[in-house]
Amino acid sequence: MEEVPINKFALSFENNRLTYCGQDCTKIPSVLWKMYGPKVHYMDLSYNSMETLKGLENFTRLQELILDNNKLDDNIRFPFLPHLRTLSLNNNKLTDLEGLIEKVSEQLPALTYLSLLSNKACPNQLSDCDKDDSDYQRYRYFVIYKLRNLRFLDSRRVSASEHAEALTRGEFTRVRRPPMTDVPPYTPPTNGPLARPLPVDFSSLGKHKGAFGKCRYKYTGKHSEGNRFIVNSDL
């Protein structure tokens, strides 16, 4: 498939800074790395439709890379870029935080600034209204623990106290979910009596040692509406 010609009016290269934004590119145009690759220290490819970073390996001296508002997902692959210090991936389609951080750790050893806002992998209210500050803080501890050189994460500096806390707690803040394929589907029994939801010995009903009365329940979930009171008349 022939590559779409670049828009020269959208292309800017000055003082080792390359910008090519808002052009609906699904990949890095080859003309960019052929013309500028080894010269580029800063590159901004925001507001395109990037689905792959093929060709990024040709930018061997890259120090800052801005990829905000693209379509990069969990299949993202990074070449080894030993000089890259800044990576911005805001508003893409990244969901697998652990997989992404493993790739970053292996391929971008000098990284000190990372931003993942507005991705499902970054659990805050920009990406999921059900998340809260505690979810986001656990995410920060995990990322800081894995990427020890980070100085900024998203829009906030990594403080000395946060870094120390991440070293203690970061390993335990990852969220593991069993794959759906590991859960066998329910198959109703075809032979024998159906399971009974009530005891067979009906005379035992009412003889249990439990009791009920006035109880107060405090709901402290993310959508708490305050303390709730339940009395006998509500049951």
Each residue's pLDDT tens digit, 119-174: 999 997 555 566 667 889 999 999 999 999 999 999 899 999 999 898 886 565 55
- Contact at 8 Å (CB) between 89 and 109? no
Sheet with 152-153: strands ordered across: 11-14, 17-20, 42-44, 64-66, 86-88, 113-115, 152-153, 156-157
| Domain 20-172, architecture per CATH | Alpha-Beta Horseshoe (3.80)
Q: Name the least confident of 51-55, 81-85, 170-174, 220-224.
A: 220-224
Amino acid at 209: K
Residue 128 CB coordination number (10 Å): 13
CA 149 to chain centre: 19
Q: What is the DSSP string of 99-140?
A: HHHHHHHHH-TT--EEE-TTSTTS-STTT-TT--HHHHHHHH
Q: Name the least confident of 2-16, 44-58, 139-153.
A: 2-16
Q: Is the pLDDT of residue 2 over 80?
A: no
Cα-based distances in Å from 133 to 23, 128, 207, 225: 35, 12, 47, 18
Closest-CA residue to 45 (of 6, 95, 93)? 6
Mean pLDDT score, 22-34:
95
Share above pLDDT 70 across residues of the chain, in percent, rounded to a whole number: 67
Main-chain dihedrals φ then ψ at residue 211, nearest 5 degrees: -145, 160
Query: How do the domains of the chain map onto residue ranges?
Result: 20-172
DSSP designation for 38: G
CB-based contacts of 98-104 (< 8 A; 24+ apart in sequence): 98/142, 98/174, 99/74, 100/74, 100/76, 101/142, 101/143, 101/146, 101/147, 102/146, 103/76, 103/77, 103/78, 104/78, 104/147
What's the pLDDT at 42?
98
Predicted confidence band of residue 37 (pLDDT cuts 50, 70, 90): very high
User: Is the model's pTM score more than 0.85?
Assistant: no
